[in-house]
Amino acid sequence: MNPEDLHKLVTTRMPFGKHEGTLLADLPGNYLHWFAREGFPKGELGRLLALMFEIDHNGLKGLLVPLRVGRSAQPGARR
């Protein structure tokens, strides 16, 4: 895993589907579990969704909190 991937989870929005526009870090666990069962998309999005699934499944969402705090302190940052 590239450390930059954690930053991408709190800045990248889901580009399609039921949760289009939602930050990857905010996707509900059941949606991530569905991808885990059915297959993640190819490419970077799939890799990030798989990482978010592992974080959610193992109860590690707290790891992303400092990244969110840092992001909200940046000028022009959207939540």
Q: Give the model confidence (pLDDT) of 62-73 as tens digits.
A: 999 998 875 554
Report the number of distinct structural domains present in the chain.
1
Q: Give the model confidence (pLDDT) of 42-68 as tens digits.
A: 999 999 999 999 999 999 999 999 988
Domain membership flag for residue 77: no
Domain membership flag for residue 79: no
> In the Cβ-directed half-sphere of 11, how many Cα atoms lie within 13 Å?
13
Domain membership flag for residue 11: yes
Q: Collapse the DSSP code of 13 into the 3-class scheme (helix H, G, I; strand E, B; otherwise coil) and give the result.
A: strand
Domain membership flag for residue 12: yes
| pTM to 2 decimal places | 0.84
**Cα–Cα distance between 77 and 24 in angstroms, integer?**
16
Residue 61 near residue 25, CB atoms below 8 Å: yes
Domain membership flag for residue 78: no
Domain membership flag for residue 38: yes
Domain membership flag for residue 53: yes
Residue 28's domain spans which residues? Answer: 4-72
